[in-house]
């Protein structure tokens, strides 16, 4: 389990994330939602320590993630793979090599520098590409692929890290609707098939409701909603997004399921300083 305890982050004295407390069970698919600037990316980046918290502690199955340094931190980053909106592939390299880059943390420095890959790494990379129906693209330059194909390559690379958690920061923000579905299906598949926890920042509430089993809503750096997708009613979404609500959801937001537990609204542990 991932335990986020009293985590805050300030940039030049200004709060981006404030006193976030969350327990995330292994194998869940969590959607982080909220207006632009709510602190979603900063929260995700703190989980794999691309950004260090100003306060608080992040734990994972007894490991104090916030205290990790050096190789232990690199190992954590490998276990906590990140997928970005802009894919972050090396465009001039072929797809297979990009995917094998996910093994960098597992091979010797010499082999990494010379990009010497074992037969097993190649087979694993091809198998990862096959999972997402893009093995036929293995020899192509990454920058010749469509956005949806590139994001599937990035997910295959993340799988090569054999992660416990995948953090996806607006993974479909630059994709058309068809590729959006392909990429979200790929994330759902690795969540269900391998039991990898997925924590995904999403702009679209409809996607968040369709794919996630838990939604965490942020506003001004704080968690203000934490419940099942069914609990996110139209009025709850309006409260979370204000005037932007129309942009992020369809007209038809289903009423809360009868079995839904509570309204999902979270009372902040502390009021803003
Ligand atoms: N490196 C940084 N330096 C200074 N301020 C930052 C930095 N990163 C984020 N912020 C600020 O922190 C706040 C939260 O930003 P963050 O990117 O986490 O929000 P977000 O919810 O992910 O927004 P978006 O959906 O637009 O990506 C914003 O006010 C942002 O300007």
Give nearest CA residue, ligand 1 atom 8: 42
Q: Pick 247 or 24 by higher pLDDT.
A: 24
For each of the domains in the chain, give its residue range(s) and CATH number, in order of start. Answer: 2-87+163-248 (3.40.50.300)
Residue 241 alpha carbon to ligand 1 centre in Å: 16
- Compute the distance between CA of residue 252 and CA of residue 184 in angstroms, rounded to an integer: 21
Q: What is the mean pLDDT of residues 166-187?
A: 92
Residue 267 in this model has a pLDDT that exceeds 80: no
Residue 269 in this model has a pLDDT that exceeds 70: no
- Compute the distance between CA of residue 199 and CA of residue 166 in angstroms, rounded to an integer: 6
Find out whether 36 and 201 touch, Cβ atoms under 8 Å. Answer: no
Q: What is the mean pLDDT of residues 220-228?
A: 94
Q: What is the pLDDT of residues 83-134, one digit of tens each?
A: 998 889 999 999 999 999 998 887 777 777 777 888 999 999 999 999 888 9
Q: ipTM exceeding 0.90?
A: yes
38 lines ligand 1 (CB under 6 A): yes
pTM for this entry: 0.88
Residue 154 alpha carbon to ligand 1 centre in Å: 23
Phi (first) and psi of residue 162, to 5 degrees? 50, 55
36 lines ligand 1 (CB under 6 A): yes
What was the pLDDT predicted at 235?
81
Q: What is the mean pLDDT of residues 255-267?
A: 48
What was the pLDDT predicted at 241?
83
- Compute the distance between CA of residue 172 and CA of residue 105 in angstroms, rounded to an integer: 26
Residue 46 in this model has a pLDDT that exceeds 50: yes
Residue 41 alpha carbon to ligand 1 centre in Å: 7
pLDDT category of residue 239 using cuts at 50, 70 and 90? confident
What was the pLDDT predicted at 237?
85
Name the residue of 11, 86, 167, 219 whose CB sits within 8 Å of the most ligand 1 atoms, as the mutation to test its pocket. 11
């Amino acid at each position: 389990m991932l335990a986020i305890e009293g985590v805050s982050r300030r940039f030049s004295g200004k709060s981006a994330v404030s006193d976030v407390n969350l327990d995330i069970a292994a194998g869940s698919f969590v959607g982080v939602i909220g207006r632009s600037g709510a602190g979603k990316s900063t929260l995700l980046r703190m989980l794999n320590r691309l950004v260090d918290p100003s306060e608080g502690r992040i734990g994972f199955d007894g490991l104090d993630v916030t205290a990790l340094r050096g190789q232990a931190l690199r190992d954590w980053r490998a276990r906590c793979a990140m997928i970005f909106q802009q894919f972050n592939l090396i465009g001039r390299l072929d797809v297979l090599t990009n995917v094998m880059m996910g093994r960098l943390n597992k091979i010797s420095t010499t082999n990494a520098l010379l990009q010497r890959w074992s037969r097993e790494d190649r087979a694993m990379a091809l198998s990862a590409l096959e999972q997402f129906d893009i093995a036929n693209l293995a020899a192509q330059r990454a920058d010749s692929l469509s956005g949806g194909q590139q994001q599937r390559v990035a997910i295959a690379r993340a799988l090569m890290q054999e992660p416990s958690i995948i953090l996806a920061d607006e993974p479909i923000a630059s994709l058309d609707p068809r590729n959006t579905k392909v990429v979200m299906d790929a994330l759902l598949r690795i969540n269900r098939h391998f039991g990898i926890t997925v924590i995904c920042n999403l702009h679209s509430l409809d996607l968040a409701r369709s794919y996630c089993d838990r939604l965490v809503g942020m506003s001004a750096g704080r968690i203000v909603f934490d419940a099942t997708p069914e609990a996110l009613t139209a009025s709850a979404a309006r409260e979370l997004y204000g005037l932007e609500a129309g942009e992020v959801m369809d007209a038809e937001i289903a009423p809360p399921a009868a079995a839904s537990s509570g309204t999902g609204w979270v009372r902040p542990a502390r009021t803003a300083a």
